[in-house]
A and B are shown apart, each in its own frame.
Chain A
Amino acid sequence: MNDFFELVVGATASGCIYGLVALSYLLITRPTGIINFAVGEWAMMAAFAGVVMLNDWNWPYPVGMAIMVVMMFALGWLTERLTVRPLVEKGAPPLAPILSLLGMLVVFRESISIGFGPDPQPVPAAFGFGRLELGWLAGSYQSFFTIALTLTVFAAAWFFFERTLHGKSFEAVAIDRRAAAWMGIHLGRVTAISFAMGAVVAGVAGVLAAPNVSAHYLMGMPLAIQGFTALVIGGVGRVEGALLGGLILAFVEQMTVRYAPVPPGLAMGVPLLLLILFLLVRPKGLLTAREGRT
C-alpha cells in the first residue's frame, strides 16, 4: 500500500509537468489557433539555463528561477515577433506559422546541441534530493515542490483568465478574433503575450523535470508529445483541462509501467494509444469551452 501511495505522489508530480507543457500549448493555441511544437524545446532550453545558473554558477534557486522566467518571457516574445508576427501580418495561411515554428524547433535544439554537447547535464532539485513523508503520502522533495509550484502556476493562470480584464481580453480573442479587434483589443499584443507566457510556463516545466531526467538536448520532443497528449485529453477549451489531462496521462502511464504485465518498453506506447483513442473518440477533450455568455 505504501508503494501505491508513493506511486501516487510520483505520478501526480509527472502529471503536473505534463500539465504545465499542456498549459503552454493552450496559452498559445487558444488566442491564435497555432500549435507550437517548439514548446518542448523551450522547456529544454530552460533546463539548460538551469544547468548554467544553478549547477555551474551555483546561484540560489529562487534567483536562478526568476532569471529563467525573465529569459523565457523574452525568448517567447522574440519568437513571436520574428517568426509568427510577420506571417500573420502578411495574411499567410494558418499553416505557415506552424512550419516556421517547426524550423525554430530544429534551430533551438541544434543550437543547444552545439553549445552544450550531446551529454546529459545535471540540474539541481529545488531542495536537494531528500524524501518527505506526510502520513501515508511519501515522495521526494522535488515531487512535492513540483506539485506545489504547478498548482501555483495554474491558480495564477486561472485567476488571470477569470478575474482580470487582460485575461478576459484573451478569452475574447479566443472566442472571436474579429469581434475582439472591433472591441478595441490589441490582437498583436495578445498574441505576443500568449507566446511569452507560454514560453515561461514551458520553462518552468523544463526546470522542474530536469533534476529527474537531466538536461539533454533531445529532452524536448518527448515532453512536447506528452504535453499535447495531455492537452488533447483535457481539451483546449479550459485551463483546468490541461492539468486534468496531464494527471490522467501520468497516472495511466505509471500504473501501466507498475502493474500491467507488459514489458516497460511497450508501456511507453500506452500514452500514444491514449492519445489516438482520445483523438478518435473525443477530439474536443474532456472539458469543453464555456459557451459565450449573451
Chain B
Amino acid sequence: MRRSWPWWAALVLLSALAFGLGSYQNDVYRKLLLWITLALGYNFLFGIAGQVAFSHFSFYGLGAYSVVIGITYLGWPLPLALLASMVFCVAVAWAVAYPSTRLEGFYLALATLAFAQLFIVVLNEGGQITGGTGGLANYRLPDVGGYRIQGPAYTVVIVALMLFTFAVLWRLDRSHFGRACRAARDNPEAAAAMGVDVRRTRILAYTITSTLAGLAGMVYAFVDNTVNPSIFGLENVFLLLFMIIIGGIGRAAGAVVGAVLLFLLPFVLSPWIGHHHALVFGWVMVLVVLFQPKGLMGLWDQAQHWGRKQSPQPAVQGPTHG
C-alpha cells in the first residue's frame, strides 16, 4: 500500500481509545468494532456486488464455532485452529457461492436464507461438538508466546481486524475487481459484453466477504468466551441489512455510520422504549427506503450540496440527490 500512514494512525488512535475505557465500555467498544467489520463486508457483498444474501452471520458463526471446536474438541494449537477455520470458511463459502450464484435475483436470497437456517439446525443438533442449543463455553484464548492477551490488548486485536477488513475492501473497491462487481450488479449482460466474467466475479465477491465475516467470527469467539446458536440467527442479519441501508448502501462510510448508529441507539433509547428498539429500526428502514434511498450518507451529500448553494458562486442547475 503506497500511503499506509492513515491506517497506522487509525490503528494507534482507535487502540489508544481502548486503554481509556473501563471494562464495560471496552466490551461495548469491541462489539461496536465487530459490527462495523461485519457491516463493511456486508456492504461490499450487498451494496457493491449487489448480492442479496442472508448468510453473512452464518459465516460469522462458522468462523467462531470452527476455531473454538479446533482448540477444544480437537485440541489443536491456536495457529493451526485459526488456519483450519480460515480454510473451512473459504471452502464453505465457495461451496455455497458456486451453485447459488447461478441463480438470478431473489433465488439467491432464498438459497442463502435456507443455508442460514440450516446452519442453525446443524448447530442445535451438533451434540457434543457444537454443544447443542446451549452452545460452547468454558474455553479461553490460548496464550500467545507465553503472553495472555486480554482486556484492552484484545480490543487492539479487534481494531486491527476492523482496519484490515476495511483496507482489504477499500483496495478491492477501487480495483478492477470492484468495478467488475459494480458492473455485474448494474447490468450483467453489459458487463459480460465488456469482458467481465460475471459468474466468477460473483463467486469471488461472495467468498471474500463471507471469509472476512468468518475471520471476524474467529475474533468474536474470544470476546464473550461463549458461542451459541441464537447469536448467529436471522435476527442479526436483518439488523446488519438495516445498518447498511440506513447508513447508505454501497458506501463504506455509510456502513460505518449505520453500524455505529444502530448499535448505539438501543443504549440511548432503552430508558424510553425498553427492548422495543427493533420497531423503531423497522420504521426508520421503511422511511429511508421510501424517502432517502441513499441513506444518511445521501442526507450528508444534500447538506453539502445545500452548503455550496449558499455560497456566492453561481449554483449549478441540475437534478438534486434523492
Instruction: Give me the interface of A with B, judged by CB distance under 8 Å.
Output: 35, 83, 86-87, 92, 94-96, 98-100, 102-107, 109-111, 113-114, 221, 225, 228-229, 232, 263, 265-266, 268-269, 272-273, 275-276, 279-280, 283
Instruction: Give me the interface of B with A, judged by CB distance under 8 Å.
Output: 52, 99-100, 103, 105-107, 109-111, 113-115, 117-118, 121-122, 124-125, 234, 238, 241-242, 245, 276, 278-279, 281-286, 289-290, 293
- CB-defined contacts of A103 to chain B, threshold 8 Å: 242, 282-286, 289
Tell me whether chain B's interface is mostly helix, strand or loop, or mixed.
helix
Complex Cα distance, B115 from A107, in Å, reads 25
Quote the shortest CB–CB distance from B230 to chain A (angstroms). Answer: 12
Known: A104-B286, A106-B285. A114 touches B279 (CB 8 A): yes
Residue on B nearest A35 in the bound complex, by CB = B106
Residue on B nearest A276 in the bound complex, by CB = B114
Residue on B nearest A86 in the bound complex, by CB = B290
Quote the shortest CB–CB distance from A216 to chain B (angstroms). Answer: 15
Quote the shortest CB–CB distance from A109 to chain B (angstroms). Answer: 8
A232 lies within 8 A of B285 (CB):
no
Minimum-distance CB pairs A-B, first 9: A106-B282, A103-B285, A110-B279, A107-B282, A103-B286, A269-B121, A100-B289, A265-B125, A272-B118
- CB-defined contacts of B282 to chain A, threshold 8 Å: 103-107, 110
Residue on A nearest B273 in the bound complex, by CB = A114
Known: A104-B282, A110-B282, A265-B124. A96 touches B114 (CB 8 A): no
- CB-defined contacts of B242 to chain A, threshold 8 Å: 103, 106
Of the candidates B110, B113, B283, B289, the one whose C-beta lies within 8 Å of that of A96 is B289
A272 lies within 8 A of B290 (CB):
no
Complex Cα distance, B100 from A95, in Å, reads 18
Complex Cα distance, B114 from A83, in Å, reads 26
A114 lies within 8 A of B111 (CB):
no
- CB-defined contacts of A268 to chain B, threshold 8 Å: 121
**A-B CB contact pairs (8 Å), 21 listed:** A35-B109, A35-B110, A94-B105, A96-B289, A98-B52, A103-B282, A106-B238, A106-B242, A106-B278, A107-B282, A107-B283, A221-B234, A225-B113, A232-B110, A266-B121, A266-B125, A273-B118, A279-B103, A280-B99, A280-B100, A283-B103
B100 lies within 8 A of A279 (CB):
yes
Known: A99-B245, A225-B117, A283-B103. A276 touches B111 (CB 8 A): yes
